[in-house]
Amino acid sequence: MTNKNRTSQYLLGFGALLFFLGLLSGFAIPAMTNPRMGLSGHLEGVMNGTFLIVIGLAWSRLHLAPGYQAIAFWLLLYGTFANWLFVTFAAMFGTKAMTPIASSGHEGQAWQEALVAGGLFSVGIAMVLGCGLLVWGFFRKVNELD
């Protein structure tokens, strides 16, 4: 199995795992401090799991140097799982700092607000960089394919 195929397989497996975690977190929505945010966490897991599966299927068409592929892999893996995790934390804690619209009057303790805000900020950075690498890698050599 080539390195690209192995990476693709890992993305498929981790995507299925995150999708599954998203489904499971849907059962916990009624018990969360902010159920509306719990629904968001559930959807983040399902959507980000689907995203990883799609990227896993398309990975063989990515034209990046091995080092950049590794960076993209880890950024996307971190970003998708952390997105689900920190949105779920926001639902459990009832935080509002990074999600004022969905917080619906809830507010967490200072450490909870800081944890969720820092986590979601890191998710934003990871996903922008990871997706930027994907765009670059998918468009590289596109003229050579014609």
Domain-wise residue ranges, the chain: 3-141
- Report the C-alpha gap between 99 and 40 in whole angstroms: 10
Q: What is the pLDDT of residue 96?
A: 80
Q: What is the pLDDT of residue 101?
A: 65
- Report the C-alpha gap between 112 and 106 in whole angstroms: 12
Summarised one tens digit per residue, pLDDT across range 44-70 is 999 999 999 999 999 999 999 999 999
Across residues 95-120, what is the average pLDDT?
81
pTM: 0.91
Supply the DSSP string of 22-76, one letter for each residue. HHHHHHTGGGSSSHHHHHHHHHHHHHHHHHHHHHHHHGGG----HHHHHHHHHHH
- Report the C-alpha gap between 46 and 28 in whole angstroms: 14
Asked whether the predicted pLDDT for residue 104 surpasses 50, the reply is yes
